[in-house]
């Protein structure tokens, strides 16, 4: 049985006050801070880069779960490792060198995670599952917070649970996009164990919202 974890996304936080936003998350008992890095190329938006992660690092003990929505992520791994990332997620769609890029993350002393977009099949990552500590299944198309959860992505979670069992592997399954107090149930039911939530957590009382999500995933 995998441990369930909550990963609020600071994409929906107040960017002028990351220090206090991180403290709120820590006080709420969330395990991860999910950090969405967007380059304006792989996705239309630009968010923030490794410098922001490095500035936040001394202010928080949370696991920094860095989701790189950038083209050719292999060029930025060392930078994010130095900045204090604990987990680095890279998209299979963003590089022709996914195998080497995941190895590079491990070599940098960071946990490798691979991401698939809603339109990308599980088959595209089946040969690198042995290299990762986490698979992130996008439950919206990446680029923006506040989009509606896509229930059709749940089949891929079930498929990954089966593959993990067949191959005797141990990766976490994370979901990201449109997760709230209602949609989280379907994701948990399908077999996900790490839950990202951005707008749901920050568009309200952070502590209350984290507790509500926690109650929803209690075994
Ligand atoms: C979407 C990002 C998400 C985003 C989720 O591109 O990867 O992490 O912050 O936001 P919500 O929870 O609002 O869908
Ligand atoms: Zn994300």
Strand order through the sheet with 5-8: 5-8, 194-197, 172-176, 134-138, 111-116, 87-91, 63-69, 32-38
What is the 166 CA–ligand 1 centroid distance (Å)? 30
> Ligand 1: residues within 6 Å at CB?
9, 11-12, 34, 36, 67, 140, 142-147, 176-179, 196-200
- Name the residue among 197, 109, 116, 216 with its Cα closest to residue 157: 116
pTM of this structure = 0.98
What's the CATH code of the domain at 79? Answer: 3.20.20.70
Give the pLDDT score at 108.
Answer: 98
How far is Cα 67 from Cα 76, in angstroms, rounded to an integer?
12
Q: Which ligand is nearest to the CA of 140?
A: 1
How far is Cα 71 from Cα 158, in angstroms, rounded to an integer?
28
How far is Cα 57 from Cα 168, in angstroms, rounded to an integer?
34
How far is Cα 164 from Cα 55, in angstroms, rounded to an integer?
36
Q: Is 20 annotated as a binding residue?
A: no
Domain span at residue 57? 5-217
Q: In a mutational test of the pocket of ligand 1, which residue from 145, 149, 209 has the highest number of ligand atoms less than 8 Å from its CB?
A: 145
Tell me: the pLDDT tens digits for 72-89? Answer: 999 999 999 999 999 999
Tell me: the pLDDT tens digits for 13-26? Answer: 999 999 999 999 99
Give the pLDDT score at 80.
Answer: 98
- Name the residue among 80, 160, 155 with its Cα closest to residue 119: 155
Q: Is 76 annotated as a binding residue?
A: no
Q: In a mutational test of the pocket of ligand 1, which residue from 12, 38, 116, 140 has the highest number of ligand atoms less than 8 Å from its CB?
A: 140
Q: Is 60 annotated as a binding residue?
A: no
- Is the pLDDT assigned to residue 67 strictly greater than 90? yes
**Residues classed as catalytic:** 36, 176
Count up the domains in the chain and report the number. 1
- Name the residue among 212, 213, 205 with its Cα closest to residue 21: 205
| Continuous segment of H or E residues that includes residue 196 | strand 194-197
pLDDT band at 219 (very low <50, low <70, confident <90, very high): confident
How far is Cα 202 from Cα 76, in angstroms, rounded to an integer?
28
């Amino acid at each position: 049985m995998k441990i369930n974890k909550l990963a609020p996304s600071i994409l929906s936080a107040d960017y002028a006050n990351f220090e206090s936003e991180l403290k709120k998350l820590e006080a709420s008992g969330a395990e991860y801070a999910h950090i969405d890095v967007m380059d304006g190329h792989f996705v239309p938006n630009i968010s923030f880069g490794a410098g922001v992660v490095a500035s936040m690092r001394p202010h928080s003990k949370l696991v920094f779960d860095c989701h790189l929505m950038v083209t050719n992520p292999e060029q930025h791994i060392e930078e994010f490792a130095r900045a204090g990332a604990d987990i680095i997620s890279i998209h299979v769609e963003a590089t022709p060198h996914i195998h080497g890029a995941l190895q590079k993350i491990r070599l940098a002393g960071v946990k490798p995670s691979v991401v698939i977009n809603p339109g990308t099949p599980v088959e595209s990552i089946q040969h690198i599952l042995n290299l990762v500590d986490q698979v992130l299944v996008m439950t919206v198309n990446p680029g923006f917070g506040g989009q509606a959860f896509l229930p059709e992505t749940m089949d891929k979670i079930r498929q990954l649970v089966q593959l993990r069992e067949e191959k005797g592997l141990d990766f976490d399954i994370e979901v990201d996009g449109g997760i709230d107090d209602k949609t989280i149930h379907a994701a948990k039911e399908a077999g996900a164990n790490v839950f990202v939530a951005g707008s749901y957590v920050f568009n309200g009382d952070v502590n209350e919202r984290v507790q509500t999500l926690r109650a929803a995933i209690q075994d």
